[in-house]
């Protein structure tokens, strides 16, 4: 008998991938980004559902994620892009995993790994078009291109792509969007002048996939949207959230007005009420910053968390309603039956839905999969 669980609807993931594919022009491929344990949805089940729905690429941040997919028989192309020096890149090259390079030093390390693996490494050259995070600066871009062209001529790498990442695509009309698109075009022009003509170009994340068709190029990278959440409210009404979080009420008690609730008594009961104890807390991913603001659905009503979120439990104010131990509490879901959503919890916690879903679940709050692929 379960006490708390995170449910993942794999049919929803398949639906979302199919929906995203329908937005793309012919010849543009879809990469489902499955980094961070598929945004908290489970690496292998989410990746499998996405591929079955038509994603021909998967994206990971770390080598471990990419290698785990290969070890479980996933054969589509995988891009892994975040590596500190000294990582075992030869394992990735041997497994046919594409790697990203943002500097000549990183490229040289990939080339050494390719020689160790005795096969060329597929490399995506990343240009920083204005995010000031990963990627070569405009000043360093020619040196990276020159190094990549030499490594390709030497047989150590195959230049698979040029790519970049938007900073503000989730803010339609932000002036940086056009600047980054123009910078990406300039980077491609510079590559052509130096004899580098990659087979693939990719720039669009989920937000750009939904709203900027001119940025789709040959490949788009859909992370959040794969899981049914939109980075732009209202931009994608046909996405289906795949995650819902459920628990069973552990205790119900009548509490009088004036009593304090939870640590620090930061919340005081204003009138006599019924409190329900729900056995999930910040160790399970419930954000402590949503204390006295988060909503939980019990008995068909959205009810407020009162007092501080604890490590293992939260307290919910149920007023005069008849709530009993064993009743189901839904922290968030698709919102189709009036339950809170991941966006609601993000608003309560002062964060984004990405963080809400990515942190959910623990070794005591298991994921349970539903749908055709479960």
For 73, counting Cβ atoms within 10 Å of its Cβ (0-12 exposed, 13-18 middle, 19+ buried), the class is: exposed
**Token digits for 28?**
């543009």
Q: Are residues 4 and 365 in contact, defined by beta-carbon separation less than 8 angstroms? A: yes
Number of Cβ within a 10 Å radius of residue 80: 26
**Token digits for 313?**
């439990």
Q: Are residues 268 and 255 in contact, defined by beta-carbon separation less than 8 angstroms? A: no
How far CA 24 is from CA of 10, 20, 217, in Å, comes to: 22, 7, 9
DSSP 144: H
DSSP 111: H
Q: Are residues 187 and 151 in contact, defined by beta-carbon separation less than 8 angstroms? A: no
Instruction: Give DSSP secondary structure letters for 254-265.
Output: EE-TT-EESGGG
DSSP 284: G
Which residue in 78, 75, 131, 121 sits closest to 101, CA to CA?
121
Considering all CA atoms of the chain, what is the largest pairwise distance in Å, rounded to the nearest integer?
A: 78
Residues noted as catalytic? 35, 263
């Amino acid at each position: 008998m379960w006490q708390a669980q995170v449910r993942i609807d794999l049919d929803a993931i398949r639906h979302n991938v199919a929906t995203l594919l329908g937005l793309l022009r012919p010849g543009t491929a879809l990469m489902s980004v499955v980094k961070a344990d598929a945004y908290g949805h489970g690496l292998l089940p989410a990746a499998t559902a996405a591929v079955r729905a038509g994603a021909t690429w998967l994206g990971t941040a770390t080598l471990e994620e990419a290698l785990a997919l290969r070890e479980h028989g996933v054969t589509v192309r995988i891009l892994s892009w975040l590596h500190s020096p000294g990582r075992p890149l030869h394992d990735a090259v041997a497994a046919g995993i594409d790697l990203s390079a943002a500097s000549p030093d990183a490229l040289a390390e990939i080339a050494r790994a390719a020689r160790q693996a005795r096969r060329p490494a597929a490399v995506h050259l990343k240009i920083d078009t204005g995010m000031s995070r990963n990627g070569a600066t405009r000043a360093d871009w020619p040196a990276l291109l020159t190094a990549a062209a030499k490594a390709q001529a030497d047989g150590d790498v195959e230049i698979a792509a040029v790519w970049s990442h938007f900073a503000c695509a989730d803010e339609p009309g932000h002036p940086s969007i056009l600047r980054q698109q123009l910078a990406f075009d300039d980077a491609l022009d510079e590559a052509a002048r130096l004899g580098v003509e990659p087979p693939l170009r990719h720039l669009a994340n989920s937000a750009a996939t939904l709203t900027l068709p001119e940025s789709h190029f040959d490949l788009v990278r859909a992370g959040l949207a794969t899981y049914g959440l939109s980075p732009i409210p209202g931009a994608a009404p046909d996405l289906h959230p795949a995650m819902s979080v459920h628990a069973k009420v552990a205790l119900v008690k009548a509490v009088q007005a004036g009593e304090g609730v939870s640590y620090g008594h930061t919340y005081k009961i204003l009138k006599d009420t019924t409190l329900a104890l729900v056995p999930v807390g910040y160790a399970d991913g419930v954000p402590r910053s949503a204390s006295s603001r988060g909503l939980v659905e019990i008995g068909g009503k959205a009810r407020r968390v009162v007092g501080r979120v604890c490590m293992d439990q939260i307290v919910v104010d149920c007023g005069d309603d008849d709530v009993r131990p064993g009743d189901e509490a839904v922290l968030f879901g698709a919102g189709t039956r009036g339950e809170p959503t991941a966006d609601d919890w993000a608003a309560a916690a002062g964060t984004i839905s990405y963080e809400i879903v990515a942190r959910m679940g623990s070794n005591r709050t298991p994921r349970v999969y539903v749908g055709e692929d479960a």
